[in-house]
Structure 1
C-alpha cells in the first residue's frame, strides 16, 4: 500500500483551504461508533480534523460508554494527533473533553492567553436516558409547584430544557461508523433535523473520507417541517 507524506505545514494549509472551499460547515458534528473495538488514535484524528476545519462542538457516542471511560486515553491521543496535524496552526485551541467520568482539557502550547474553545462530549446510552428523565422530573416539579400547567408542557419546552441541560446545540451532522444500521439511543430528542452519513468503520479512517462526508453534507438541502 502506498502512502503519501505531507509536511506539517502543508497539512495545516490544506485543511485551512478545504475549510474555505466547503459550502457549509456543521456547528456540531456527532460521531456514533457502532463497533466492538475502538481506535483512540483514529477518534483523536477525527476530533483534530474537525477542530482544524472550524467545527466548535463534537460528540462521540458508543452505547456502552467504553470511550467515555477511557477519556484520558483519548486525551493523550488528541495531544499526539494535534502535534502532528496542527503544529503549524496559528489559532490557539482549548479542546475540552466533557465527560461525567473525567472532565479533562487539552490546550495548545501557544503562548496566547486567549484560546478558541472546542467542546468534545463523550456520551453513552445512559446519558440519553438520564437527561430525558431529569427534564421530565424538572417539569413535574414545576407543575407540582404551580409554575406550570400540564397543558403548558410542549415539545418546544422540553427541547429548551434539554438544550439547557446538554449545553450544546443539536447536531447538524451525524457520522455513523459500523455496519449496523442503528444509532442505539444517540441523542434521540436532538436529531430531528440532523443529516446522517454512514462510513464502514472509524478504524483507519482517512482525512479524505472525513472530508467527503462534509462535502456531502454541504451539498444537502435540508428541508424544515412546519
Structure 2
C-alpha cells in the first residue's frame, strides 16, 4: 500500500450528512434526479467509498458510514477501540490485504 487514509467515525456521523443533504436538495433542486442526489451527497459528505471498516464494539452497525459509502467495504470487527494497539491495526490491514473481493460473483 502506498497510501492509507484513516477516517474515525462515530455512530451518529451519517445522520447529520443525510439531513444536510435533504435540506439542501429541498431548497435548491427544482427536479430531483438520482444524479443530483448523488452529486449533492458526494459534495457534502466528502468521504470516499470505503474499502475497509474496522468496527469496534459488540453491536453490528455501519459505524457512522452512509450505506452508499460502505457498499464495497470489508467489515472487520474488534472488541474495543480502547485496547486497539498499532500491531492490531497492522494485523487488520494485513488481513484485509489477503481478502479477495468478488464484486457479487
Determine the structure 1 residue equivalent to 2:87: 208
TM-score (norm 2): 0.76
How much has 1:185 moved relative to structure 2? 4.2
SS of residue paired to 1:209: helix
Verify the 8 A CA contact 2:57 2:79 in the aligned structure 1. Answer: yes
- Residues 167-211 of structure 1: CA deviation (Å, up to 9, x unaligned): 231221110111222335433331111111001122232222211
Give RMSD over aligned pairs: 2.3
The unaligned stretches of length 5 or more in structure 2 are none
Change (3 A) 1:204 1:133: closer
Q: Which has the higher strand share?
A: 1
Q: Distance in 2 between matches of 1:185 and 1:216?
A: 22
**Cα 1:224–1:160, aligned 2, differ >3 Å: closer, same or farther?**
farther
Does the aligned pair in 2 maintain the 1:172–1:194 contact within 8 Å?
yes
Aligned to 1:142: 29
User: Any unmatched runs of 5+ in structure 1?
Assistant: 1-24, 26-52, 64-124, 144-148
Cα contact 2:54–2:76 (8 A) shared by 1: yes
SS in 1 for 2:71: coil
Match of 1:54 in 2: 3
TM-score (norm 1): 0.40
CA–CA distance in 2 between the matches of 1:201 and 1:129? Answer: 23
Secondary structure, in 3 states, of the residue corresponding to 2:76? Answer: strand
Q: Quote the offset at 1:215 in angstroms.
A: 1.3
Q: SS at the partner of 2:6?
A: strand
Aligned to 2:57: 178
User: In 1, are the aligned partners of 2:55 and 2:78 still within 8 Å (CA)?
Assistant: yes
CA distance in structure 2 between the partners assigned to 1:186 and 1:131 by the alignment: 10
SS in 2 for 1:189: helix
Contact 2:47 2:69 in 1 (8 A): no
1:163 aligns with 2:49: no
